[in-house]
Each structure stands twice: as C-alpha cells, then as structure tokens.
Amino acid sequence: MAGLMAGFGCYTHAIVRGIPTSLAKESLRTCQAEVDLSKAQREHDAYVHILRTTLGLEVVVLPAEETLPDCVFVEDAAVVCGDTALITRPGAESRRRETEAMKGALKDLNLNIVEMTDESATLDGGDVLFTGREFFVGLSKRTNQRGAEILADAFKDYAVSTVPVMEKLHLKSLCSMGGPGLIVIGSSEPAQKSLKIMQQMSDHRYDKLTVPDDLAANCIYMNLPDKGQVLLHCTAEEYPESVKVFDKLNDYKLYPVPNSEKVKVDGALTCCSVLIDKKSSN
C-alpha cells in the first residue's frame, strides 16, 4: 500500500450534526414510512459515540437547525480531500443553507475552502465516491455535470469520472469504499451497472465486495493507528444476509451501526459525517 494509497482511510476528525425534530415530518424522502424520532436520535447518538469514544476521532458536533430538516446528513454539504474542502451546492434547494454551518466548521479546522458559486451547478456529497486514487461522481437527481466539473477543478491531482445514477438517490446509495482498492457494491441491477461503468472508466483495477442489499453497501472504512482496518456497517437486524458477507472480512474490526430510522428518509451511514485527516493539513 505504498505511495498514494498509504494514507487511505486515515482520519483524525469528523463533523456531524444534531437531528432536528423536523426530520420526522419535513425531511425529503422517497418513501413515506413513519420516522420514530427518539429512536433516530438514539441511533445517531450511537453513531457519534463510535466515532468519538470507540475510534477516538475528534468529533465536531454542529447544532441541529429546525428550518433545515435534512441537516443531519452533513456529507452532502462538503467534499473534503487532503487539506481542501469543497463546499457543495446541494441539488435540493431546501438544503442549500446547510452549507453555511459546514463552511464555518471546516474553516475552524484551517482547511482550504473552495466554494461552488456557479448557480447552474449542483452537487451532493452523497454522489461523490473517492477511492484514494480518483473520484467517481454520480450524475443523479441531485448532482449534475457542472457540479462534477467544479469538483474536478477543486481536486486537480485526481481523475474524475461521472457515473449515471438511475434509480437511487445518490451514487453512494449503491456503493462505498471498503478499503484501499475495494468497492463494496449492492447486488441490484442498477448497482452492478454502476460498478461496470466505474470499472470501464478507470485505469485502476478494483476488487469488489458484493452484498445482497444495496443500502448495506453504504459503509465507512477507516485505517486508524491504534485500531488497524475498521468498517462501520449495517446491523444484522436490518440486513442479515449482507452482514454475513462483512463477517468474512477477517482482518477488519467490524462495528455494526443501527440506522433503521434515518434510512426511512434516505440516510445511509456515510451521509451522517464528514471525515477529515488533519495530519495531512497545514
């Protein structure tokens, strides 16, 4: 794992945000299941506890904002790579103000801030998959070509390829990185099509870990000094067959994280944090 990939998955900080009560009734969603707000809060507390206490990251908690029902899903507001942070322009107009608090937090961490000011551009962080070698950007209902071009301009060291996202909200509703060179992918036809496109567009070879459930393919990989390789993934209560696949990853410390309520409003595990490696910053 020499060179470029040596630091993949190394993080020191995480930015998260509280859950507003408005999440239950007013957040954007593709299905109309009822959200148990107190259960969502307990699940989110468990998520933050794992990041801060179990894994030892410095966690910055931004306050919930009632007028921004989706604000807990901080991933969509920024893309951070190295010491550069791109403040996005979310595809849903109701979410655009979420970037203000995120920008303040990233400034406080002394990152180089790049803002997406072009009003024709849209980009949600949930459509951005960084592999350590390159970026794949999902072209979805929330992210357009101009957004992908601005991301490419912000992170000139890396190739950027676009992937059409047909039936899901975001690219990372279908996949995520499970380690250096390892893409975790759902088994549905849209997921497998997306993977095929990524493989065709890339100069690199990626291994794949296929899980039965698309939503279970969204997990969080870290490589931490005291813990080694870590994977936060869905629970066996939610996706038992997918968890059997994760359980075969013998060299990893596995942390099941409950997410049954936020998933009702299209929130996956990566959605709820922005991860940062301050060691590589100035």
Q: Which residues pair with 179 in a beta bridge?
A: 182
Report which secondary-structure segment, H or E, holds 83. none
56, amino acid identity: G
* Distance, CA of 223 to CA of 5 (rounded, Å): 11
Strand partners, 210: 185
Q: Which residues are catalytic?
A: 170, 271
Q: What is the DSSP letter of 168?
A: S
With H, G, I as helix, E, B as strand and everything else as coil, classify residue 237. coil
**By the 8 A CB rule, do 71 and 26 touch?**
no
Distances from the Cα of 230 to the Cα of 46, 105, 119, 183, 239, angstroms: 16, 25, 38, 15, 19
Quote the tokens at residue 169.
């909200």
- φ/ψ of 272, rounded to 5, equals -95, 10
Q: Give the up-direction half-sphere exposure of residue 73: CA atoms within 13 A in the CB hemisphere.
A: 28
Going by C-beta distance under 8 Å and a sequence separation of 6 or more, which residues neighbour residue 89? 96, 99, 116, 117, 118, 119, 121, 122, 123, 147
- Using alpha carbons, select from 120, 78, 81 the residue that is nearest to residue 98: 78
d(CA 49, CA 278): 20
Round to whole Å and give the CA distance between 191 and 213.
10
